[in-house]
Structure 1
């Protein structure tokens, strides 16, 4: 019987960022493919029936596929430079929970599935929860297959290189319709459980959130030969947008606006850029506030561009409405586990599935409160407590 931390130790060297620490594990790249192979091996060693859907999501069934199933799982990909727990803890805890149930001689009365979802972070192709969105039919497969990574590789090309058939991408009509309930365990991305003094918590809501690309276009030119008054430099409105995002977000209740990525073209040190793309992540407790925040910031971006003699365009790349988890599932989890409920500002595959299947989420305490960075952490005892809580839920639901 393996603990979550023992399982995480197996993959601790996969995708490590040299020097900085953290992980680069992006869907269908070498590191994430190695993690997939690891999961398939672990599932097979437990006698689970492993199948991969047309979107790259891996389903491991115990004892085999069937209706009214109970499913759990998470993802193995990371953001650039992400931590060790975001995603993999949920997968490792699911495998550990299966071990606990098998050790006590439990046999599920209804099928149980452990799922690994593809491209949850959107770290390679820019759209979060892409595997679960495609499976649920909330993402257009043709648009998704045409998404490109930083090297220009499309999702379709990446799938083929990994041995998958992109023609099969789209709504999952085989595995997902069999699920009666879903629960995802995840490391908490904040300090709520530290404040509650609890190792395990239950999610109540996920903030509505989305990603937008602000594209500024000006005139590329020579950095040394172009007088300051003769410039149409798109970096100026792009830079001002970064600080405007914080100022605008503060005008909405508990909203968050972040610029974590900026790309100038052509990107030379002695070159005035001809264009600059800025990616905005915006979130708020109310969908109307998120939309209003982005609308206000979009108008401001166009003003800033015009002042520099540039143009601005705004493209929505993804959006997820506020998720309110099934109240019966939420209350049952909180009561059975004697755990506090709390909201989260982070998106999850569970949030995508919640519109289609009664869904809940468990959180494991993160003493640093840091996520999407190498300092992300959870104590071994808390990870074990999380797996035990998950096993308790799976036992209850799959009798």
Structure 2
């Protein structure tokens, strides 16, 4: 297992941030997609790319009521080595293990790689699965823009896809029967439970919002404090407001991970500042309450500085409860492994609205994710492959 991940170690390594920066349809992502195609083809799987840029590798002929497993290969900026690739590599190695055990699926089976899961380039997480399931408007998706001004439509066209065909894929959805995603745990739940593998019970309600504060660009030295309309002040106030609002709601999380001033000079008062808020809670009312509180505080801070603020919801997903029958079937096939919730979003959560989905987690001894310290021990990765092969054998027999 670690050898397979080591083969990817040079792709998208980020010397500035540490870890990896691999984003949808960029050079690193395209190289990883080529790697997957080669690995799947070597195993005799039939690989094709769907209309939304997701890769499918079929063991046998495609067909209805298929069992599908897989994950993603892209990362957040400066992400770890396991988030995404572990699920893809484990799926391929589960195929190897099933074959070594003399097993052939009795129903259609595929390994999938979803496009742009992290939203690191175009800002919307789980973009490939959202397009597939039709939970994002394709016209809005085509207009999404990366930090360099490249639209999603332009990026997929450069990758050889037709941007006009982006959108809900009835053919792919019609084939899906059940989806199982293996993922490194993004927390220490399995460490506390002393278990190498577990199953997911739910995903917190979560979304991303962009706050744009507009003031007046000016000279840092020549503009008296009393004459300023500096959007950086309400932007800074929002960062503190996010922490206070999240603390007031049990189990909520609110994070500012990206702040972009324009024009961004060290001796310039910014004219605009964009701030991205990630907010999560156990259910929609609590998640919305956190965002509403932050918005109210940001609006007041902007007015106090003579600035304006606009708020754009870029993505949102309600609480996901994974299919209980499928969850219990997986846990039973694995001898009663624990079930635990997660605060992280996944493609399995997007597809849960269309088909029964489930997730397997592999223990992360650091509890750190979306950072270079993300880790899983080789023996736990191997346990994950064995667990995935076991449940896939059960589901496809």
Q: Do they superpose with TM above 0.5?
A: yes
Q: What are the within-5 Å matches in structure 2 for residues 63-102 of structure 1?
A: 63-102=60-99
The residue number in structure 2 matching 1:168 is 165
Q: Report if aligned partners of 1:65, 1:175 keep a CA contact under 8 Å in 2.
A: no
Partner Cα distance (2:40, 2:203) in 1: 30
**Matching of residue 279 in structure 1 with residue 280 in structure 2:** no
The residue number in structure 2 matching 1:397 is 395
**175-184 vs 212-221, greater mean Cα deviation:** 175-184
Deviations 1:248-292 (A, max 9, x none): 111111100000000000000000000101000000001100011
Partner Cα distance (2:181, 2:258) in 1: 28
Q: What are the within-5 Å matches in structure 2 for residues 102-251 of structure 1?
A: 102-251=99-248
Give, in angstroms, the shift of residue 81 of structure 1: 0.3
Deviations 1:209-228 (A, max 9, x none): 00000110001000000011
3-state SS, counterpart of residue 330 of structure 2: helix
The residue number in structure 1 matching 2:352 is 354
**Matching of residue 340 in structure 1 with residue 338 in structure 2:** yes
Give, in angstroms, the shift of residue 333 of structure 1: 1.4
Give, in angstroms, the shift of residue 175 of structure 1: 2.2
The residue number in structure 2 matching 1:329 is 326
Partner Cα distance (2:315, 2:213) in 1: 19
**Matching of residue 313 in structure 1 with residue 310 in structure 2:** yes
Partner Cα distance (1:249, 1:243) in 2: 10
Give, in angstroms, the shift of residue 176 of structure 1: 2.5
The residue number in structure 2 matching 1:369 is 367
Give, in angstroms, the shift of residue 123 of structure 1: 0.2
Partner Cα distance (1:334, 1:255) in 2: 28
The residue number in structure 1 matching 2:7 is 10
Give, in angstroms, the shift of residue 64 of structure 1: 1.9
Deviations 1:225-261 (A, max 9, x none): 0011111100000001101100011111110000000
Q: Report if aligned partners of 1:236, 1:308 keep a CA contact under 8 Å in 2.
A: yes
The residue number in structure 2 matching 1:38 is 35
Deviations 1:364-393 (A, max 9, x none): 000000000000000000001001000000
Give, in angstroms, the shift of residue 20 of structure 1: 4.0
- Count of residues in Structure 1 that have an aligned counterpart in Structure 2: 396
Partner Cα distance (2:88, 2:169) in 1: 20
In the TM superposition, structure 1's runs of 4+ consecutive aligned residues that sit over 6 Å from their partners are none
Give, in angstroms, the shift of residue 19 of structure 1: 4.8
Give, in angstroms, the shift of residue 21 of structure 1: 2.1
Q: TM-score, normalized by length of structure 1?
A: 0.98
Partner Cα distance (1:256, 1:348) in 2: 17
Give, in angstroms, the shift of residue 312 of structure 1: 0.9
Partner Cα distance (1:264, 1:157) in 2: 26
Partner Cα distance (1:158, 1:395) in 2: 37
Deviations 1:279-309 (A, max 9, x none): 0000000110001111111111110000001
**Matching of residue 270 in structure 1 with residue 280 in structure 2:** no
**19-28 vs 280-289, greater mean Cα deviation:** 19-28
Give, in angstroms, the shift of residue 172 of structure 1: 1.2
3-state SS, counterpart of residue 264 of structure 1: strand
Q: TM-score, normalized by length of structure 2?
A: 0.99
Q: Give the aligned CA root-mean-square deviation in angstroms.
A: 0.7
Partner Cα distance (1:6, 1:105) in 2: 24
Q: Report if aligned partners of 2:75, 2:84 keep a CA contact under 8 Å in 1.
A: yes
In structure 2, list runs of 5 or more residues that go unmatched.
none
Partner Cα distance (2:224, 2:164) in 1: 53
3-state SS, counterpart of residue 280 of structure 1: strand
Q: Report if aligned partners of 2:333, 2:394 keep a CA contact under 8 Å in 1.
A: no
Partner Cα distance (2:237, 2:64) in 1: 54
Q: Report if aligned partners of 1:48, 1:64 keep a CA contact under 8 Å in 2.
A: no
Deviations 1:327-384 (A, max 9, x none): 1111111222121000000000000011111110000000000000000000000001
